[in-house]
């Protein structure tokens, strides 16, 4: 049972307009053509929405016409979609399209030049399709730890007419057999920068990854050195599986003022310094430094060492990751 082509085109055009209105590709309009061309509904044949006591499954083959229409509207709404739920826990999703567009724009892919991209976290395959549309199948590699996820992503991509390399493996280890890369983009949250990625990058490569509710943009100097700042954009993704886990900061925030905890930027600082800085010290620092925004923070990787910093990588405020 196929979705009505007219409804699909109308819904996709509306989504493209909504993403454009957000300013997502203001600096990189070439990505607009990818969102216009790639049919998101082929990558989310079903998804889950919150319901009383759990999740409700919507799918494109539902015999109920109204539920099918509801599924299609959701596919082309600018929201993330839960695509895999295991034991009540979200393990995979299709990210919010406008955030995807912002991240793709921040990759700073050069026009008219060859660019090899490694994506960490295949998800539904939608992001890999957008990359492949712009760069070509041969220049895109996407990796995921879960063979069920990579197999479904491969099927979705083929249905949409794209065939980038889809690899099952630990994203923290990268994909050395397809290296070197000019860009690495992660669609899962990190607690530190996997050192293997640097060794698989060409000098001058850019790494864009969610970390501590933000997006870090690193420039790679060589296999031992990378540095960069956080972008303004907040980002919430499922954690990278296969890497080291870190206890959430919620375990250590007793006694902190409610107003501070409700501040999104302070929560970013708590995540960034979790395990390195006492939350009450983090609050004092945040207030003393004038409630610093994300762009004042950065990360440096130097040999075996990796640290976050405020304002200056060699300054007084640094924290090991």
Residues with active-site annotation? 92
CA pair distance 260, 285, nearest whole angstrom: 12
CA pair distance 115, 105, nearest whole angstrom: 14
CA pair distance 106, 215, nearest whole angstrom: 10
* Closest by Cα among 137, 190, 179, 145 to 161: 137
List, in sequence order, the alpha helices (H) in the chain: 5-21, 30-37, 65-75, 97-106, 126-135, 147-160, 195-199, 258-261, 264-273, 279-288
Q: DSSP label at 41?
A: G
Neighbouring C-beta atoms of residue 308, cutoff 10 Å: 24
Cβ burial, residue 56 (10 Å; 0-12/13-18/19+): exposed
Helices (H) then strands (E): counts for the chain: 10, 14
Question: Hunting for tokens 């870190």 — which residue is that?
Answer: 246
213 in Cβ contact with 264 (< 8 Å): yes
Neighbouring C-beta atoms of residue 236, cutoff 10 Å: 12
């Amino acid at each position: 049972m196929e979705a009505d082509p007219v409804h699909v085109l109308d819904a996709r055009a509306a989504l493209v307009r909504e993403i454009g209105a957000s300013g997502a590709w203001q600096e990189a309009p070439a990505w607009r053509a990818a969102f216009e061309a790639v049919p998101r509904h082929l990558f989310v044949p079903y998804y889950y929405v919150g319901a009383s006591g759990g999740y409700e499954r919507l799918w494109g083959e539902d015999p109920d016409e109204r539920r099918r229409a509801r599924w299609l509207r959701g596919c082309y709404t600018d929201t993330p979609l839960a695509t895999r739920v295991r034991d009540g826990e979200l393990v995979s999703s299709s990210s919010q399209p406008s955030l995807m567009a912002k991240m793709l724009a921040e990759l700073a892919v050069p026009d008219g030049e060859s660019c090899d991209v490694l994506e960490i976290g295949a998800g539904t395959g939608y992001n890999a399709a957008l990359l492949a549309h712009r760069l070509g199948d041969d220049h895109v590699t996407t990796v995921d730890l879960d063979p069920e996820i990579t197999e479904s992503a491969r099927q979705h991509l083929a249905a949409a007419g794209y065939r980038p390399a889809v690899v099952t493996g630990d994203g923290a280890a990268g994909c050395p057999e397809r290296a070197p890369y000019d860009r690495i983009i992660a669609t899962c949250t990190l607690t530190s920068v996997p050192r293997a990625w640097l060794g698989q990058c060409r000098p001058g490569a850019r790494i864009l990854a969610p970390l501590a509710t933000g997006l870090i943009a690193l420039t790679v100097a060589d296999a031992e050195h990378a540095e960069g700042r956080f972008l303004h954009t907040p980002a919430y993704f499922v954690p990278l599986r296969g890497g080291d886990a870190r206890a959430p900061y919620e375990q250590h925030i007793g006694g902190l003022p409610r107003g501070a905890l409700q501040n999104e930027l302070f929560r970013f600082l708590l995540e960034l310094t979790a395990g390195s800085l006492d939350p009450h010290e983090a609050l004092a620092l945040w207030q003393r430094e004038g409630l610093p925004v994300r762009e004042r923070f950065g990360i440096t990787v130097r040999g075996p060492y990796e640290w976050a910093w405020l304002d200056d990588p060699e300054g007084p405020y640094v924290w090991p990751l």
